[in-house]
Structure 1
Amino acid sequence: MPAVPLHWSWSLPAVVEPSPLLGLDLPLALRCVLRRRGFTSRSEAETFLSPSDLPPTSDHFPDLDQACARLVKACRARERVAICGDYDADGMTSTALLLRALGPLGADPEPAIPSRMDEGYGLNPAMVQRLYDDGVRLLVTVDNGVAAREALDLAASLNMQVIVTDHHTIPAKRPPMAALIHPATTPDGSPYRGLAGVGLAYVLAHAVAEALNKPEAIRVARDLFCIGTVADMAPLVGANRSWLLEGLNHLHRSECRGLQALQRLAGLGERPLTAEDIGFQLAPRINAVGRLGEPKLVVDLLTAEDSDSAMALARRCDDFNRQRRDLCDAIEAEAVALVEAETSDALPSFLLLAQSHWHHGVIGIVAARLMERYHRPTALLAGDGDGCLRASVRGPVGFAVDEALSSCSDLLSRFGGHPAAGGFTVKAEHVHALHERLCEQADGWLMTQALGRPVQPDALLHLNDVNWELWRHLQSLAPFGIGHPKPLFWSRGVNVEERRDLKGGHLALRLRQGDSERRAIAWRWDPSAVVPESCDVAYSISINRWQGEQRLQLELKAIRAHTELVLIDRGTRQYTACWTEMSGLTLTNGDGKTLQAKIEQEKSLTSDDDLARDTRVVQLMEEACLGLGLRP
């Protein structure tokens, strides 16, 4: 079976009036982006672009004062404190953050991170017992612990105190703990609601440093916060945005020897870093260790005091990252071959692929790649011993992974997740029945995807608008991520002047619109997908740095054939619109009746037709102008 061609269902953005944001030093297209993201006044947008001071954390986290008091006591007594983290980038940076903060503040902290392969996720009874036997009486969990009932019950029975900092779901019956620092305990609308594990560790470290009047002890904490927050894909709004804006300006000059070494290996130079630099260059090198090796390596790297040892540890992380890439590519090739060999006609609505030798640490990455390639919810299963398989699941927008797994709970030994991703363990004999059940769950979702993969640009640009001035203004909206994604622009009626298929399945294009040419790249492009000579393109804007030079490039997300007509769908009614310099805008309904309008210099519509005074017709004409590229 050939690779599935890519089809997109374009949904252009809502018509907006950007005038409430007049006075902002931003191009019209970027003001439209902000309006479409819910900013209704200039002052509201200015507060987002340049955040004001945050409220005191003690007013928002009910248990923060008691957690701080207990750690202050530990610091003054040089008490041993175990930092129990997770093995992903959020957990490892959180662990390193508290190690680097509590040590200079006077405590005797030590890391306690479970092995992904041997112990699984989070705090467990064996860890608690081992730490107790070793003399530890105070534990702080980071990025885990809130649902570790057995471990917390054991700690309570041993009179060990546990401070839990976690952002995962709080169970209905809260286990025993000395204090809980969790975003869900903050008031509605709190700027701290989106904090990941590393953000909560930062809140705790900052409170203890303030209480002991030693702010210098947490100088590196903000740097580690930036890495963990972006790596965990936390929403970049509220406190996350505010602290990132401050932290990114100084991250390239971090005092953390491990971060210095990672930046040198990634070739990031001496310039200020972006969230994309973290997400695509630094975080993968950290995450690869948690996936394939022992997370203590990353903790050692991020707490190293010597540049030479930090570089040696960073190189080991780099080796794991190369190994991770090779494993992902090999498993992806094998998985694609399985899909193409086993699917003779149509793809199943839910892709489920299993091989006992696949590596647990990377099957989630490959599941995400296959989900993108085939636009289907996807599960990859690897052997887990005792006749069981362990899976990672990824789902497209609109398909709820957690709900689908819940509906199959009778077939699963363990499961968990959220709407976009999840995991489960299943006995081998239940895999066939599970696949049938998951396909039933995906059938309804797939029917809504008949028109193709959804793409919704934020604003229209002409290619000559893509310049360094726009890039400068675009950076004032950064950092971008979950909750505030990088703007997706679209350009209408561009011509493909040159096409090159690159190694790795990527596509390079040279696009022309009028007198303007821009280079574009499409990552992991389906080679069977047709690229029309005249097309509309949806893209984000990035910088291509190569051999000391840098230039702007379009990162293509979707392409469609260009047509002079625009279709407006109103359910039972459809309208077509076109534009010519001579006739202006022509709107035609299903009965063939037409309405014509001109666009004045102020971009306002004028028409001699009485229908043009009807608000519904005006809305149709405005949507037509948007679709024809006459509005941003």
Structure 2
Amino acid sequence: SPMDALELLLTMDNRRAVQLAQMLDSHNRKRQEEEEAIRTDAVQMLHNSFDPERDNVIVLGSRAWHPGVVGIVASQLMRRYHKPTFVIAFDESGVGKGSGRSIPGVSLVQAIHQCADTLVSGGGHDMAAGLVIEESRMDDFRRAFNRYVSETTTEEQRCPVLNIDMEVSFQALTLDLLDSYEKLEPFGNSNPQPLFMSSDVFPTEPPKRVGTNHLKLFMRQGMVERDAIFFNGAERELPEPPWDIAFTIDRNVYRGRASLSISIQEIRSHQEM
């Protein structure tokens, strides 16, 4: 219940605050475990049947999945494979509730409208939507959804593109830069967070796995060393160094000291520009 989180923020009783924090942390760990189990199951399904050259969409479902987590998994699969994705949790009667995430140029609302005869219901936004479907119609929906994307987009539109705002050196990543950068906030859909790039970067030591699927990377460009976090990077095979890295920056405050943190969005082997 969200009331537990609200009570944690409002309570003046330290003992009650600790109890609530521990309870919420336990709930979050269970959610993460559920999310990891579904993602692992979904990736295995894709390995068995998915052809990225042939299939322009991902549609997966199972009676073993929890409907409260499928949206998170759909988002992760969409980012990993750059395909419009629906992940569906079916109940014991075979009725499924699914959550979808899309790529630029593919409207899930329009897709649901075009595939309506295979669905019970559906709606949402261009980039995120939900649907209700009978288990027996999942393959029909997958084919119709794939056909819609194939007919309304070009191969070039379906290719992943990173729009780099600026190339910066490690030496230029300072708190002064961060002060200027933060004047652009708040970031959101209509004001996306700037994406930077640094090229010809070398790892200085092996990546360190943190959390469930994240990597901490230690890198050097010229004489300047930086570390960075690569969320969900443990699922990826890192390319041969040296690297070109695309990343966002944020302010990190620990024990009253501010520093600039780097969140890697993508890595490739270095390419001469």
User: TM class by shorter-chain length?
Assistant: 0.7 to 0.9
Please name the residue that 2:60 is paired with.
Answer: 353
Following TM superposition, by how much is the alpha carbon of 1:438 offset from its aligned partner in structure 2, in angstroms?
0.8
- Secondary structure at the counterpart of residue 184 of structure 2: coil
Please name the residue that 1:404 is paired with.
Answer: 111
Question: Aligned runs of 1:310-389 on 2, under 5 Å?
Answer: 310-343=17-50, 346=53, 348-389=55-96
- Secondary structure at the counterpart of residue 91 of structure 2: strand
Please name the residue that 1:85 is paired with.
Answer: none
Match of 2:218, as an amino acid? R
Higher strand share: 2
How many residue pairs are counted as aligned between the two chains?
271
CA gap of 1:513–1:296, structure 2 versus 1, over 3 A, is: closer
Please name the residue that 2:134 is paired with.
Answer: 427
CA gap of 1:446–1:551, structure 2 versus 1, over 3 A, is: farther
Further displaced range: 307-316 or 543-552: 543-552
CA distance in 2, matches of 1:528, 1:303: 41
Alignment of 1:459 onto 2:131: no
CA gap of 1:336–1:347, structure 2 versus 1, over 3 A, is: farther
Q: Is the 8 A contact 1:518 1:553 kept in 2?
A: no
CA distance in 1, matches of 2:169, 2:30: 42
Following TM superposition, by how much is the alpha carbon of 1:531 offset from its aligned partner in structure 2, in angstroms?
2.4
Q: Is the 8 A contact 2:59 2:86 kept in 1?
A: yes
Please name the residue that 1:442 is paired with.
Answer: 149
Following TM superposition, by how much is the alpha carbon of 1:432 offset from its aligned partner in structure 2, in angstroms?
1.4
Please name the residue that 1:523 is paired with.
Answer: 231
Q: Is the 8 A contact 1:349 1:446 kept in 2?
A: no
CA distance in 1, matches of 2:93, 2:267: 47
Match of 1:525, as an amino acid? G
Q: Could you state the TM-score of these two structures normalised by the residue count of structure 2?
A: 0.85
Please name the residue that 2:264 is paired with.
Answer: 556
Q: Which has the higher contact order (CA 8 A, sep 6+)?
A: 1
| Aligned pair partner of 1:541 in 235, 249, 260 | 249
CA distance in 1, matches of 2:164, 2:87: 31
CA distance in 2, matches of 1:545, 1:327: 31
Following TM superposition, by how much is the alpha carbon of 1:548 offset from its aligned partner in structure 2, in angstroms?
8.1
Following TM superposition, by how much is the alpha carbon of 1:397 offset from its aligned partner in structure 2, in angstroms?
2.1
Match of 1:473, as an amino acid? S
Q: Is the 8 A contact 1:494 1:511 kept in 2?
A: yes
CA distance in 2, matches of 1:446, 1:365: 27
CA distance in 2, matches of 1:368, 1:329: 13
Following TM superposition, by how much is the alpha carbon of 1:353 offset from its aligned partner in structure 2, in angstroms?
0.9
Following TM superposition, by how much is the alpha carbon of 1:553 offset from its aligned partner in structure 2, in angstroms?
3.4
5+ residue gaps, structure 1: 1-293, 567-632
Please name the residue that 1:175 is paired with.
Answer: none
Following TM superposition, by how much is the alpha carbon of 1:301 offset from its aligned partner in structure 2, in angstroms?
4.4
CA gap of 1:490–1:500, structure 2 versus 1, over 3 A, is: same
CA distance in 2, matches of 1:515, 1:301: 46
Question: Aligned runs of 1:199-210 on 2, under 5 Å?
Answer: none
CA distance in 2, matches of 1:327, 1:473: 40
Match of 1:489, as an amino acid? F
CA gap of 1:301–1:526, structure 2 versus 1, over 3 A, is: closer
Q: Is the 8 A contact 1:531 1:559 kept in 2?
A: yes
Query: For residues 416-474 of structure 1, what are the alpha-carbon distances to aligned partners after superposition, in whole Å with 9 as ceiling and x for unaligned?
Result: 11011111111122111111101112224361256x42101112212110112222332
Instruction: Report percent identity of matched pairs.
Output: 30
Match of 2:32, as an amino acid? R
Following TM superposition, by how much is the alpha carbon of 1:528 offset from its aligned partner in structure 2, in angstroms?
5.1
Q: Is the 8 A contact 1:401 1:422 kept in 2?
A: yes
CA gap of 1:430–1:494, structure 2 versus 1, over 3 A, is: same
Alignment of 1:491 onto 2:198: yes
CA gap of 1:456–1:499, structure 2 versus 1, over 3 A, is: farther
Larger of the two Rg values belongs to structure: 1
CA distance in 1, matches of 2:221, 2:131: 49
Q: Could you state the TM-score of these two structures normalised by the residue count of structure 1?
A: 0.39
Match of 1:316, as an amino acid? M
